[in-house]
Amino acid sequence: MPKSVSDIVEELISSNPCISYLIGEGIVNYSSLAKLLQPAVNDLSNSEVRVNTIVQSLRRAASKSRFEDYSSVAKALAEADYNIYQNVNEFTFGRQDIPRLLSKLAEPNILESSVLILFLSGDSLTLVVDDKTANRLNIKQSATKYTLLKISIRHATEARPGSSAFLAQVLGTKDIMPQNIIRKNNELYVLFAEDKFTNSLEAIKILKQSALIPKQGK
């Protein structure tokens, strides 16, 4: 049985933390959101759906208030501590190189001020590290350079699943596209291309204001 437009709209909202938050807080422009969702609704319904029809579905969905509440995520990001690091490198190592790399990390090469992020993906290990630490580790391979925005959420319980997706979508509404977002406990690491330093500054401004938007009527 084909899904109704209302069902499709609810699924699209539920899969998008940012839209769920905006609707839950009553701060969304339904007409603008309907136009944004229209291509996806058309594809999923295999028909041409009018914007006004999508607006009505959005209003019905909002009245049910069954979407996950992301207001605590927005508030946590607004109150978080932010630090920017330039000249950050990303290295990728094969599985065969991991023991050698870990032995270097065990040596006194890592300072308290070092930027160091490790994560495994399949058969490779990615290391994100600042220039000075990379030199101390004697890593010679070429690297991709980034500007790193570190977000420290003050209460670990607020760094819940969905934080990264919410952050990415809030920034995406302002056409700010990070290269990567890495979440570790109560910290989020946002990587921007080296020449996009101003994007990291704009990101802080946006996220600091994400929980401060005044509510409007639905």
33-71: pLDDT as tens digits = 899 899 999 999 999 999 999 999 998 888 875 555 667
Choose from 21-35, 71-85, 100-114 the range with maximum mean pLDDT: 71-85
Mean pLDDT lowest among 71-75, 128-132, 157-161, 186-190:
157-161
131: exposed, middle or buried (Cβ count in 10 Å: 0-12, 13-18, 19+) = middle
**What residues does 132 pair with on adjacent strands?**
none
- Distance CA(129)–CA(1), nearest Å, equals 52
DSSP H helices, the chain, are 5-14, 17-25, 30-45, 51-64, 71-78, 98-106, 131-136, 163-172, 197-209
- Tokens 């699943």 locate to 161
Q: Alpha carbon 117 to chain centroid distance?
A: 17
Task: With a cut of 80, say whether residue 27 has pLDDT above it.
Answer: no
pLDDT digits (tens, 9 = 90+) for 142-164: 667 889 999 998 875 555 566 78
pLDDT reported for residue 81:
92
